[in-house]
Structure 1
Amino acid sequence: MRRTLTTALAATSLLVLAACGTSQPSADESDEPSPDSGPITLTDGAGRTVELPGPAEKVVSLEWQMTEDLLALGVDPVGVADVKGYSTWNTAESLPADTTDVGLRGEPNYDAIYQSDPDLVVLEVYGPDDAVVKRLEKYDVPVLAVLGADAKDPLAQLKETFTLIAQAVGKEGVAEDVLAELDQSIEDAKTAVADATPETTDFVYADAYAQGSTISIRPYGQGSLIGELGETIGLTNAWTGEVDPAYGLGSTDVEGIAQVGDVHLFYTGTESGTWLDKLSGNPVWEAAPFVTNDRFTPFPEGIWTFGGPRSAQQVVDAFVAGVA
């Protein structure tokens, strides 16, 4: 699903906005992989056994969450899928300006990958017969396939993915520090929400896009990472509609979202409000309680809602700012 996100949301472009509290850790000598480190054996998200002669140093990332995770660990990828898209949609960690682009997520440029001479390619797996994994396996390129999401426990999955990547690059100590910072951010946000005593703690988060005169809205329901983060800090996700089993994403229209009642409606910040412009004068929209009570709030632009620990910190900060 995430590999088609850019197409589905082409009308909802984001600008880069630096966020507080997401600085990249500075690795000291103890954080650097030892040249004498022994072989590493991992079981990845596809159930595959991945054997590395030592911590991977030249890593290609084919998914933005994995790119963010590598950067948060202090590892600059030698190649990244859709560099421009990452820099637009994910501001949690900045890519070096000279990062090599290796094609699209889901449709990578294999020649560019091979020319990067990686000792590991990290990607998100989409099932046991993932075509990209199978093609890379035909060549002498180690592949670490990770699960980007699990609606059963999205926050635990985020941490598991981050830890797995850290093990592959020999940065377990850095990973522990980053995850501790995330946990502290969550605890601080819990306190801030409780102290703010908002009139309602019910919320819905959604993104949307326009296709002609039709507006499609995608609520993040139970099992979504952003929904889980909201509930973890003391809010209540009010979207109860059907969602997909991996990312907790639903689908509705203006009439459907207007029925959620008197909630805080958060949405993906946009450059120009393309879909919002089309709602001017719409009686259903303008009568919705979250509009009339001024509880309709954009997230800062550039927060990737499918990201790693650093993006998660941005999310909880945005929730607090919206309800406090």
Structure 2
Amino acid sequence: MRTTIRTLVGLAAVGAIALTTGCGTAGDKAGGEKKTDTAASAGAISVKHTRGTATLKAPAKKVVALEWTYAEDLLALGVTPAGVADVKGYGQWVTAGPRFDDSVKDVGTRQAPSLETIKALKPDLIITSKIRSDANYAQLEKIAPTLMFDPYAGGGEYKEMRDTLKTIGTAVGKEKEADKALADLDGKIAAAKKKVTDAKKEGSEVTVARGYSTNGAAVVEILTDSTIPGALLPDLGLKNAWTKKADAYGMAKVDVEGLKPVEKSTLVYVAAKKDDPFATSLPKNELWNDLDFVKNDRVKALDPGTWYFGGPFSAAQTADQIAGALSS
């Protein structure tokens, strides 16, 4: 039965040689079995990415993900990665979706993963992002075919996330699972929108933020339309109150005075439980307390584990959290 499945996957891959969605790829949970002649002759899979085109002899089986987004994508496809950068951090900041089992090896930090640990896993594919691995791409390529992607290159992070998932699905022989994951996401967004509609909040203006402290000072970052939360707002029947420019990552750092133009909106935010300036330092600021959304109780904390930059599980959680904040 297993050989038959591989044969069908391999034949399907022949029709996907010229895949050009511009995103990542990953590996199946199974691994370590001897390759058969059938798999070897099934045809290659070519995937375009930031560094060009990578060719896999067959759907990848053992994958290392050096960015949390791609690790989440693998889980959404029902695939367990062989290794992930900063497994503990993932568990803290990305709370949507299933957890990693004990077989997943921590390969170091996202900024500086351990090449030795990755090599020891003998992966047949590595997935990473430009922001993390631009400098050591050649070293990763010596270990295994490496796909690099840039969610911030243009076109919006939400569309890029969806395209990435479909590309990964093709690369690991999980096209149907990718389509189902996106259909499930669309269904959850529709359910979240119903919450907004039922609460009669359609058309409301929302400011999406995250906050943290640096050297004791509050830092507030506003997310624009190019981000995943910003792109989800219209799908929820809401409007992004922030219309000004942002940085290369789709966010804008503001001080308290910079929040004045959006004070008539509802402010929803994510912050760590142990570092929440919206609940600690900002309430000591007179300008903050004078903002309309503060005076009228329209500052809403989302689950601290809501990851604005993830895959389909995180996007669904973000939509549900925002809808819940508006309807509470």
Which bin holds the TM-score, normalised by the shorter protein? 0.7 to 0.9
Separation (CA, whole Å) in 2 of partners of 1:298 and 1:54: 45
Separation (CA, whole Å) in 2 of partners of 1:109 and 1:288: 47
Deviates more, 1:250-259 or 1:35-44: 35-44
1:318 aligns with 2:308: no
Match of 1:21 in 2: none
Task: State the TM-score, normalizing by the size of structure 1.
Answer: 0.84
Match of 2:88 in 1: 84
CA drift of 1:144 comes to 1.7
Contact 2:225 2:250 in 1 (8 A): yes
Of the three residues 262, 265, 279, the one matched with 1:263 is: 265
Contact 2:43 2:57 in 1 (8 A): yes
**Secondary structure of 1:210's match?**
strand
The one-letter amino acid paired with 1:44 is: K
Of the three residues 162, 167, 173, the one matched with 2:165 is: 162
For each residue in 1:169-213, what CA deviation from the matched residue of structure 2 results, as whole angstroms up to 9, or x when unmatched? 111110010011111222222333222212861011111222234
**Secondary structure of 2:136's match?**
helix
**Secondary structure of 2:55's match?**
strand
Cα 1:272–1:136 shift into 2, 3 Å: closer
**Secondary structure of 2:283's match?**
coil
Separation (CA, whole Å) in 1 of partners of 2:215 and 2:159: 39
Match of 2:113 in 1: 108
1:50 aligns with 2:54: yes
CA drift of 1:117 comes to 0.7
**Secondary structure of 2:252's match?**
coil
Cα 1:170–1:199 shift into 2, 3 Å: closer
Match of 2:294 in 1: 291
Match of 2:101 in 1: 96
Structure 1: gaps (5+ residues): 1-28
1:180 aligns with 2:183: yes
Match of 1:231 in 2: 234
Taking CA–CA contacts closer than 8 Å with sequence separation of 6 or more, which of the two structures ends up with the larger relative contact order? 1
For each residue in 1:245-304, what CA deviation from the matched residue of structure 2 results, as whole angstroms up to 9, or x when unmatched? 4x3111111221243121110110421344231123311111111111111111112111
1:60 aligns with 2:64: yes
Match of 1:250 in 2: 252
CA drift of 1:43 comes to 2.8
**Secondary structure of 1:49's match?**
strand
Contact 1:209 1:215 in 2 (8 A): yes
Of the three residues 210, 213, 217, the one matched with 1:210 is: 213
Of the three residues 38, 41, 44, the one matched with 2:45 is: 41
Contact 2:212 2:275 in 1 (8 A): no
Match of 1:136 in 2: 140
Cα 1:212–1:47 shift into 2, 3 Å: closer
Separation (CA, whole Å) in 2 of partners of 1:197 and 1:274: 29
The one-letter amino acid paired with 1:197 is: K
CA drift of 1:100 comes to 0.8
Structure 2: gaps (5+ residues): 11-35
Separation (CA, whole Å) in 2 of partners of 1:180 and 1:261: 35
For each residue in 1:81-104, what CA deviation from the matched residue of structure 2 results, as whole angstroms up to 9, or x when unmatched? 011111111112311134211111
The one-letter amino acid paired with 2:255 is: D
**Secondary structure of 1:104's match?**
coil
Aligned length: 293
For each residue in 1:141-183, what CA deviation from the matched residue of structure 2 results, as whole angstroms up to 9, or x when unmatched? 1112223345533322111111111111111110010011111
Contact 1:40 1:168 in 2 (8 A): no
Match of 1:308 in 2: 311
Separation (CA, whole Å) in 1 of partners of 2:202 and 2:77: 39
Percent identity for Structure 1 against Structure 2: 35
Please identify the structure whose Cα radius of gyration is greater: 2
For each residue in 1:201-255, what CA deviation from the matched residue of structure 2 results, as whole angstroms up to 9, or x when unmatched? 101111122223422211001211111112221111111222124x311111122
Separation (CA, whole Å) in 2 of partners of 1:253 and 1:284: 10
1:117 aligns with 2:119: no
Match of 2:73 in 1: 69
Separation (CA, whole Å) in 2 of partners of 1:297 and 1:166: 36
**Secondary structure of 1:131's match?**
coil
